[in-house]
Amino acid sequence: MRSPKDFFAPLAVGAPEPLRQIPVPPSRMIHFFDPSNEKMAAKVPDIAKKVDVLLGNLEDAVRADRKEAARNGLVSIAKSTDFGKTQLWTRVNSLDSPWVLDDLITLVTEIGDKLDVIMVPKVEGAQDIHYVDRLLAQLEARAGLTKPLLVHAILETASGVANVEEIAGASPRMQGISLGPADLAASRRMKTTRVGGGHPGYLVRTDPTGEDLNEGRTTYQQDLWHYTVARMVDACAANGILPYYGPFGDIRDVVACEDQFRNAFLLGCVGAWSLHPVQIDIAKKVFSPSPEDVAWARRVIAEMGDGTGAVMIDGKMQDDASVKQCRVVAELADALAADDPELAAAYDAATKEAS
């Protein structure tokens, strides 16, 4: 753990100054693609126009014999594509793998000026972030970068969850954390065989109504990820960084995907991963506040004046705590609407109708 006095000092001579505030451009969907897959790579320039974050994935889902092709493919895509306002991220291989050192050296040296965030998988504790932090500083200094690369950790090991607060605060580079439900399930020895989402066997049942224990007892499926998402959100909020839901592997089940994303949104996450083009619009819809919620939030803010005291609106009491929640929604809406005229019009129309 660095002393508080040294926390914002560069970790290598010539490395850029760490940021004091994490930038928060929209990141409703982190769209994964495999840079070694020619079909996917060909779609990147078009997809870049539709997503907030494009992520060149080098880790799981890329075959071992395609790791170098994926790394080189990402370098060439980054050099030849104008991403506009879309952020470019990468997910490097895990820190114990034979590929990660070359991933970091190659990417920072070749395209460090194009990359915004490096996602680090299977983070176990602050020590993993400290290792990446120093190495990035050395590579940034050597490459002459002027903007520091940010780091995003995947929460997908039991140790990672146990240490999530120290991970979130391990470095000024920490941009955010994503839940990785697939590896986390394996690490915890959970008995699921899926990539995220619920499980029909994880449920509660109402009490028996008579002698027959099977008669008239409704069951409710429970959320396997509630505890971890909530811990992650608290760790991120307490450290000024951003929480995300990760992958939803049942690509066909767009309905449950939307539910899972919305649970995360309501609990405080700012985005989720899209693994397939069909998940991009789901994330965009879910992680943009609804026009009705924005209209309500704006109304509460307007009626609360200086924000003190209490007022009744439509039979509901509002005070400092509810106006603060409304500001979260309204500020997010304004930030998203600034770059999206369609969303801006929908928010303004709903606001007009509600007032």
Ligand X SMILES: CC(=O)SCCNC(=O)CCNC(=O)[C@H](O)C(C)(C)COP(=O)(O)OP(=O)(O)OC[C@H]1O[C@@H](n2cnc3c(N)ncnc32)[C@H](O)[C@@H]1OP(=O)(O)O
Strands (E), the chain: 29-33, 53-57, 87-91, 117-120, 150-155, 174-179, 203-205, 219-221, 242-244, 272-274, 311-313, 316-318
Query: For residues 160 and 127, is the Cβ–Cβ distance under 8 A?
Result: no
Q: Which among 284, 261, 291 has a CA at the least distance from the CA of 354?
A: 291
Residues 2, 103, 76, 248, CA torsion sign: negative
Contact flag: residue 32 with ligand X (CB under 6 A): yes
Q: Which of 111, 115, 118, 182 is close enough to bind ligand X by CB under 6 A? A: 182
Residue 232-271 contact track with ligand X, rule CB under 6 A, x = bound? ---------------x---x--------------------
Q: Which residues of 323-345 are buried (b: 16+ CB within 10 A; e: fewer)?
A: beebbebbebbeebbeeeeebee
Q: Closest Cα partner for 126 from 91, 171, 86?
A: 171
Identity of the residue, 110 or 183, whose beta carbon is nearer to ligand O=CC(=O)O in the bound complex: 183
User: Which of 246, 271, 289, 291 touches ligand O=CC(=O)O by CB under 6 A?
Assistant: 246
Q: Which is nearer to Mg ion, 180 or 291 (CB)?
A: 180
* Number of shown-chain residues binding ligand O=CC(=O)O (CB under 6 A): 11
Sheet strand arrangement including 242-244: 242-244, 174-179, 150-155, 117-120, 87-91, 53-57, 29-33, 272-274
Calpha distance 219→204 (Å, rounded): 6
Q: Is 50 in the site for ligand X (CB under 6 A)?
A: no
* Residue nearer to ligand X on the CB measure, 245 or 287: 245
Residue 293 CA, distance from chain mean position: 22
183 is in an annotated binding site: yes
Residue 61 contact partner, candidates ligand X, ligand O=CC(=O)O, Mg ion, none, CB within 5 to 8 A by sort of partner: ligand X
Interface with ligand O=CC(=O)O includes 176 (CB under 6 A)? Answer: no
Minimum distance of ligand O=CC(=O)O from residue 91's CB (angstroms): 8
Interface contacts to ligand X, rule CB under 6 A: 32-34, 39-40, 43, 47, 57, 60-61, 182, 195, 247, 251, 275-277
Q: Which residues bind to ligand O=CC(=O)O, rule: CB under 6 A?
A: 60, 121, 154, 156, 180-183, 195, 246-247
Annotated binding site: 91, 156, 183
